[in-house]
Amino acid sequence: MIYQAYLFDWGNTLMKVYPFFNGPMKLWPKVAAVPGALKTLEHLSAVAQCYLVTNAADSEEDDIHEALGRVNLDKYINKIFCYKNVGFKKPSREFYSKVISELGIDPARMAMVGDSFENDILGAVQNGIFGYWYNPFSGENRNDKMYSTIHSLEELIQITNQS
């Protein structure tokens, strides 16, 4: 299915998190996109709107935009929802309610993509948003009517091409 909006987690979903760096990612000496992030966002942004939703506490919206720009992902993200501009964190109902309200899109027409099953997927599902659990590090699969597992971001390209 092609959704109207794709919500992406930031750390370890679109961009690698290096645990030995502190502070805003835009200031890190090294940043990198997760494998397949650029190709996937390029593809999805041609058929849907792409948003970033993150619990990052060290970065504000402009900081995140700048970090995304360092790996050429910024032009594919329509808006950034972060703890500092939403006032709540995932997986809270308040976080997802604010995103849904601000976008004005039916949650049934949205998909959340994230590496944390609890924060990203369960939080989204509780608000009527389909979840793609991005799990590149193990063969574990979790599938239900409201969520499924992907092991690479490029799988989203294949899924949308089949629709």
Instruction: For residue range 81-112, list pLDDT tens digits in order.
Output: 999 899 999 999 999 999 999 999 999 999 99
CA dist 151 and 132 (Å) reads 10
CA dist 98 and 153 (Å) reads 26
pTM score, whole prediction: 0.96
> What is the residue extent of each domain of the chain?
5-162
Instruction: For residue range 1-39, list pLDDT tens digits in order.
Output: 789 999 999 999 999 999 999 999 999 999 999 999 999
CATH number belonging to domain 5-162: 3.40.50.1000
